[in-house]
Amino acid sequence: MVLLLFVDLDPDLAALRPVGAFFVLRTAGGASGGTPGRLPTLAETYEGTGADAHENALAFRVETVANRLRTREPRVAASIAHQALAARLWSAGLGCAALYGRLPDLDPRLLRWDPAALAPDDLWLTGPRPLPGNPGNTAALAAAVLHGHLEPLGEALRARYGIAAGLLWGNAGSALAGAARELDRWARGSGRTDVADRARTLTVELFAHPLLSATGTLTGTSFRRRSCCLYYRVPGGGVCGDCCFTRPPRSSPRAASG
């Protein structure tokens, strides 16, 4: 029997900070300081609406990633941008569930996003509050991250860039496995085997979800995906550690999109 040393949600979600930058959720008006200003919410981002210079935040982010990676292929930049945001969302959600035993409300209308910034300065949560009933289980994670964020995000990217659904769900699976692996590494190194065991259980259960079950194979903390994020098409890029390929393919530009 595992003893889970949960703590209450705090206004700054401070328990996430030691794990790493991808796990941090800045909170508007919290002790962490700063302010999100008039950044678009993720709800506005998925809908393609907004009120300032980042009105189409998703397109802005993809263009920013393309410039940073020096790629002229918007589809490639869109895939990399998608995986990074998926990793941020999974890290925050899984981290809260494993460390606190519950989730804050991660409604897209409460999360503000800076498409020009990197973690941890890209996401701000307005008014952190636990979900009713303090759920921190697999169903709550799937509802918050898979259905609340990754489905509308994927729809927006497919509509604008024509990316295959299989590639995007593969990104989602890869991002979840990466978040779980990092959380496991930190938890075991910090003597928090309760957190490591909780994170692993949640991850295994999440990969049984119909949207993730076909994305790859999870073995312990290792993951091998069945698709490719297209990073090999970035100048100087190659295949990732969990890629379906062992070496960069020499096929058509869309060969790895499924």
| Per-residue pLDDT band at 137 (split at 50, 70, 90) | very high
Rounded average pLDDT over 36-55: 75
* 256 occurs within a structural domain: no
* 72 occurs within a structural domain: yes
pLDDT, tens only, 25-45: 998 754 444 456 678 999 999
Instruction: Provide the whole-model pTM.
Output: 0.90
pLDDT, tens only, 163-182: 999 999 999 999 999 999 99
107 phi-psi bin (left φ>0, alpha ψ -120 to 50, beta other): beta
Query: How many other CB atoms are there within 10 angstroms of residue 41's CB atom?
Result: 21
pLDDT, tens only, 182-235: 999 999 999 999 999 999 999 999 999 999 999 999 999 999 999 999 989 999
Tokens for 115, please give them.
Answer: 């498409």
Q: Which range marks the domain in which residue 62 is found?
A: 14-233
Task: State how beta strands 216-219 and 111-113 pair.
Answer: unpaired
| 16 in Cβ contact with 23 (< 8 Å) | yes
| 26 in Cβ contact with 120 (< 8 Å) | yes
* 252 occurs within a structural domain: no
Beta strands, E only, the chain:
26-27, 111-113, 123-125, 216-219, 222-225
* 121 occurs within a structural domain: yes
* 194 occurs within a structural domain: yes
Tokens for 144, please give them.
Answer: 């918050």
pLDDT, tens only, 86-132: 999 999 999 999 999 999 999 999 999 999 999 988 999 998 888 88
Report pLDDT for 53: 42
Partners of residue 223 on adjacent β-strands: 218
Chain length of the chain: 258
**197, 209, 181, 204: which is closest to 98 by C-alpha?**
197
> Which strands sit side by side in the sheet containing 26-27, from one edge to the other?
26-27, 123-125, 111-113
Tokens for 123, please give them.
Answer: 């996401």
* 7 occurs within a structural domain: no
Partners of residue 26 on adjacent β-strands: 124
| Per-residue pLDDT band at 49 (split at 50, 70, 90) | low
Report pLDDT for 131: 86
Can you say whether the dihedral through the CA atoms of 221, 224, 226, 232 is positive or negative?
A: positive
* 5 occurs within a structural domain: no
* 254 occurs within a structural domain: no
Q: Which residues contact 189 (CB under 8 A, 6 or more apart)?
A: none
Please name the helix (run of DSSP H) or strand (run of DSSP E) that holds residue 186, with its range, or none: helix 165-189
Count the domains in the chain.
1
